Amino acid sequence: MDRYAVVGNPIAHSKSPAIHAAFAAQTGQQLQYEALLAPPDGFADTVAAFRTAGGRGLNVTVPFKLEAFALADRRTPRAEAAGAVNTLLFDDHGILGDNTDGAGLVRDLTHNLGVPLTGRRILLLGAGGAARGAILPLLAEHPAALVIANRTASKAIELARIFADRTNGPQPAGCGFAELAGSSFDVVINATAASLSAQAPDLPPGLYAAGAPAYDMMYGSGDTPFMATARQDGAAAVADGLGMLVEQAAESFLLWRGVRPETAAVLAQLRRQIA
Ligand code: ATR
């Protein structure tokens, strides 16, 4: 049976084995998907051993997405743009590195949540790996504007510079949080790691245009701190990143198996589990 796995450290909490088992059952694909704990200095060895044992592909999570990027001998354009790899495919040509996180975000917003991005003003909060992976997929939706704002303004300005001239639409802009005062947006996406330390980004009020939703890439059993402050600040709706998790998995499954699984039932089941 074809073998796949998710590799990370820690890995015990990963929902990927359950998600991919559900996809396999639903699509009638014969495959096995497990969780691999790699030592902090043993990512490449873990990948090599899995490949030698007949593994066909891997999902890669914290803290190995940059090492996975370096390990791949070919990369998709979206992985190059993200500067990180969350999906490896082993084939006769070697190791292909892909990044499905940004596509998962866009699909959750547009397909699951009914949030249009085309022609909209998008605010992306954060300038780390999570934000970077989202930029090209967001620009590909042809928004009216994409503003990248970060606690450390220089990092957002640098990211906007990296992605300048990547589309024929509007150029991304970068700034600090304070410079957002007086602006409003149609969609606000939190890609900062603030929720991990039970914090919300320190944003000026009034960022939400009428009807604008807030989206947090993080998720938990209830509102994240960002979602809670977004409600107070007038967001018309709030969503967490559980749908993004399921959609990035579906994109990986599609790359490996050539079949796009249905995500709604899997997402609903996960939602019940974390409630
Ligand atoms: P990831 O891979 O999850 O993006 P990262 O590359 O370490 O992680 O980036 C973390 C991001 O979260 C950064 O944009 C960071 O802002 P700084 O560049 O100013 O450090 C942001 N971040 C972390 N904690 C935050 C907080 N409490 N408020 C606002 N932004 C925060």
Cα(124)–Cα(121) distance, integer angstroms: 10
The structure tokens listed for 116 are 């249009």
Q: What is the pLDDT of residue 145?
A: 97
Q: What is the pLDDT of residue 166?
A: 83
Identify whether the C-beta of residue 109 lies closer than 8 Å to the C-beta of residue 134. Answer: no
Q: How far is the CA of 128 from the centre of ligand 1 (A)?
A: 6
pTM score over 0.90 = yes
Q: What is the pLDDT of residue 30?
A: 95
Average pLDDT of the segment spanning 201-217 = 98
Q: What is the pLDDT of residue 169?
A: 78
Cα(113)–Cα(25) distance, integer angstroms: 25
Q: In 90-241, which residue ranges form alpha helices assigned H by DSSP? A: 101-107, 129-139, 153-162, 225-232
Average pLDDT of the segment spanning 185-214 = 97
Q: What is the pLDDT of residue 167?
A: 79
pLDDT for 10-31, tens place per residue?
A: 999 999 999 999 999 999 999 9
Cα(177)–Cα(197) distance, integer angstroms: 18
Residue 159: phi and psi, rounded to 5, are -60, -45
| 168 has a pLDDT exceeding 90 | no
Q: Of 67, 132, 150, 192, which is best to mutate to test ligand 1, by the most ligand atoms within 8 angstroms of its C-beta?
A: 192
Residue 268: phi and psi, rounded to 5, are -65, -40
Within 10 angstroms of residue 39's Cβ, the number of other Cβ atoms is 9
Q: How far is the CA of 23 from the centre of ligand 1 (A)?
A: 32
Cβ(150) – ligand 1 distance below 6 Å: yes
Q: How far is the CA of 150 from the centre of ligand 1 (A)?
A: 8
Q: Is 155 a known active-site residue? A: no
Type and span of the H or E element at 96: strand 94-98
Cα(198)–Cα(59) distance, integer angstroms: 27
Identify whether the C-beta of residue 151 lies closer than 8 Å to the C-beta of residue 176. Answer: yes
Cβ(155) – ligand 1 distance below 6 Å: yes
The radius of gyration computed from the CA coordinates of the chain, to the nearest angstrom, equals 18
pLDDT for 87-113, tens place per residue?
A: 999 999 999 999 999 999 999 999 999
Q: How far is the CA of 274 from the centre of ligand 1 (A)?
A: 24
The structure tokens listed for 3 are 């073998």
Tell me the pLDDT of the chain averaged across its residues: 97
pLDDT for 31-64, tens place per residue?
A: 999 999 999 999 999 999 999 999 999 999 999 9
Cβ(192) – ligand 1 distance below 6 Å: yes
Average pLDDT of the segment spanning 256-273 = 97
Q: Catalytic one among 20, 65, 75, 121? A: 65
Q: What is the pLDDT of residue 203?
A: 98
